[in-house]
A and B are shown apart, each in its own frame.
Chain A
């Protein structure tokens, strides 16, 4: 998935339970969060080797996807296929993070706070209810979150321009110079804003370098 409009194409798979074909649709945002949490608990149980917990998690996972009964193999297969179907399919720029050093502990932080933040931003911006937000596609919600972050930055910049705090007095030219609001890394244009480092030719690598399937030859 590489485009916003692709988000709206409903995806589905067919799983076979006791010989019967059953259609499973991709989960919307609310169910996606619940299923991803179950998958996370499954990984923890798997690492501990706790069979009972793994079994109950798989049964709960399939119950949420409206799959009942089936043989053990059918259930395991369905569990895997539905996990693959509901994987996050598009990483937007803001998800890459900032690469700046983070504060060690935030006193008001808690687990899964980022998801609560998403719901808070969507609800505040669009006045949606939690049910409406949970009815979005996961990538659709991510696109709206990115737009909200960009809009918040631009609105803050507009207000900041009007404040004298954003201007620095330059004694040499005796003028006020505007200090740009620092952008997070994911908002920077790679061509213009990232620093360029020159490397001496004598220390560049020589010979064939393989980057995946691409071959580059340095002489």
Chain B
């Protein structure tokens, strides 16, 4: 195998996450999934603004090699999201680029927690949450 091929193989191995018996590769979010994720998470991203100093402090305590924004997002919003299992399932489905039914069948909480650092490494969620505000993407409820 060539050097580039070996590098690509290692890259894929780094981004592989196991759910049950299945290994899936975590890829950067597509444009459509980014927009769907922002629409879904918009009510909660607003609350994150109050917690940015907390996230910054938590990130400073890491070795700086991983962003862990997504990890801290779920930690901070765990109480708000606890009552919204549908939103959580949809969020996970968008992050993994799978169907909600597949997520319900295959994803366990522990496995998802282990996948969070990989997701954080592949996508810059801090930039994504900030784009939500910049582009004004938010859920509009019809009365």
Q: What's the tally of chain B residues with a CB closer than 8 Å to chain A?
A: 21
Check: B139 CB closer than 8 A to any chain A CB. yes
| In the complex with contacts A46-B136, A80-B131, A71-B35 CB distance below 8 A | no
Cross-chain contact B31 with A76 (CB below 8 angstroms): yes
Check: A136 CB closer than 8 A to any chain B CB. no
Cross-chain contact A73 with B124 (CB below 8 angstroms): yes
Query: Looking at the complex, which one of B30, B39, B136 makes contact with A72 (CB distance below 8 Å)?
Result: B30
Complex CA distance for A75 and B28, rounded to whole angstroms: 12
Contacts of B124 in A (CB 8 A): 73
Query: Looking at the complex, which one of A43, A47, A55, A77 makes contact with B131 (CB distance below 8 Å)?
Result: A77
- Determine chain B's interface SS by DSSP, over half rule: helix
| In the complex with contacts A73-B123, A73-B124, A77-B127, A47-B31 CB distance below 8 A | no
Complex CA distance for A47 and B131, rounded to whole angstroms: 16
Q: List 16 A-B contacts (CB under 8 A).
A: A46-B135, A49-B139, A51-B39, A52-B32, A55-B31, A55-B32, A55-B35, A71-B30, A72-B33, A72-B35, A73-B28, A73-B128, A75-B31, A76-B34, A76-B128, A77-B131
Contacts of A80 in B (CB 8 A): 131, 134-135
Contacts of A51 in B (CB 8 A): 32, 35-36, 39
| In the complex with contacts A58-B31, A75-B31, A49-B39 CB distance below 8 A | yes
Complex CA distance for A168 and B123, rounded to whole angstroms: 75
Check: B140 CB closer than 8 A to any chain A CB. yes
Most buried by A among B31, B39, B128, B139: B31
Cross-chain contact A72 with B134 (CB below 8 angstroms): no
Check: A27 CB closer than 8 A to any chain B CB. no
Other CB < 8 Å A-B pairs besides A46-B137, A73-B128, 5 of them? A43-B136, A72-B33, A73-B127, A76-B128, A76-B131
